[in-house]
Amino acid sequence: MKEKIELNSEAIILRKEFGEDTNSPIDIFSLIHNNDNLTIVFYPMSSRVSGICIRDGKNKIIGVNSTSTYGRQRFTIAHELYHLYFHEDFESVVCFIDLEMNKSPEEKEADVFASYFLAPYEALSYFISNKLQKGKQELEIEDVVKIEQHFGMSRQAILWRLKNDGYLSPEKADTMKTGIIVSARKLGYDDKLYIPTPEDKQYATFGKYVRLAEEVKTKELVSTGKYEELLLNGFRADIVYGFVTEEEEKYD
């Protein structure tokens, strides 16, 4: 398995390739949507599975379990990016949600990479020592909430990282695994990071697949019926049927 310093370096390299700096919180959904070679599919999956990724030539597909929390979905995308950009010789991978389970070296590497992609080592260290003014083994639940909110990470992902970096003992981390939403609300944060995608939006496809459907329709390579079928297969009935009304759309 690669060393943590190498995985942190790879995370920073990919950040830079996407036009991001090495310290700021990252809007990973925008990065994915703006990448011409990526398709992302949101789909309800087993509670054990966080996501999947498929690489077929130049086509890269990330599947995200839309019943997982928003914070975990961000981690999942970062995890799958490792497979797509740094994991050689694979066609498809199913990834599991439990960060503590025994996994293959590639899966462990992808978890560590994802954590560093969302919160590079130096960025997390700076935030804790300078913004929170805390040292190792000094963090309380309020500090953990501030860290996960700043970097946009789920409670499981941030506790796993803080334990691995020596900021929390396993025993203290265990006391922070419950009351997650309440702990954030008490500090004035909303609960978006901790809840799943709403049920009416749990099926959706974005990225290359949709653009290709538009392209073949524009070039008249497929009929209108086939074009609509492609979009419906990609869970984009909103494009086919125009669900967004003028009343819902606001230019401001």
Residues 176 and 68 in one domain: yes
Residues 179 and 225 in one domain: no
Domain total of the chain:
2
Main-chain phi, psi angles of 137, to 5 degrees: 65, 20
Residues 176 and 52 in one domain: yes
Residue 23 in tokens? 């310290």
Domain membership of residue 61 (yes or no) is: yes
pLDDT digits (tens, 9 = 90+) for 186-242: 999 999 999 999 999 999 999 999 999 999 999 999 999 999 999 999 999 999 998
Domain membership of residue 247 (yes or no) is: no
Domain membership of residue 196 (yes or no) is: no
Domain membership of residue 205 (yes or no) is: no
pLDDT digits (tens, 9 = 90+) for 2-36: 999 999 999 999 999 999 999 999 999 988 888 88
Task: Give the pLDDT band of residue 102 (cuts 50, 70, 90).
Answer: confident
pLDDT digits (tens, 9 = 90+) for 28-71: 998 888 888 899 999 999 999 999 999 988 889 999 999 999 99
> Mean pLDDT of all residues in the chain?
93
Query: Using CB atoms within 10 A of its CB, is residue 155 exposed (0-12), middle (13-18) or buried (19+)?
Result: buried
Residues 144 and 232 in one domain: no
Domain membership of residue 249 (yes or no) is: no
Residues 93 and 129 in one domain: yes
Range of the domain at 45: 4-191
Domain membership of residue 157 (yes or no) is: yes
Residues 53 and 143 in one domain: yes
pTM of the model: 0.92
Task: Give the pLDDT band of residue 250 (cuts 50, 70, 90).
Answer: low
Residues 28 and 152 in one domain: yes
Residues 34 and 152 in one domain: yes
Residues 136 and 88 in one domain: yes
3-state secondary structure of 3: coil
Domain membership of residue 206 (yes or no) is: no
235 in Cβ contact with 66 (< 8 Å): no
Sign of CA dihedral 128, 133, 135, 138: negative
42 in Cβ contact with 173 (< 8 Å): no
Q: Which of 28-37, 75-84, 140-149, 220-229 has the lowest mean pLDDT?
A: 28-37
Residues 138 and 53 in one domain: yes
What is the end-to-end Cα distance of the chain in Å, rounded? Answer: 50
Residues 128 and 35 in one domain: yes
3-state secondary structure of 59: strand
Task: Give the pLDDT band of residue 103 (cuts 50, 70, 90).
Answer: confident
Vertex 80 angle, CA 45 and 67, to 5°: 25
Domain membership of residue 233 (yes or no) is: yes
pLDDT digits (tens, 9 = 90+) for 150-186: 999 999 999 999 999 999 999 999 999 999 999 999 9
pLDDT score of 114: 97
pLDDT score of 36: 82
Residues 142 and 222 in one domain: no
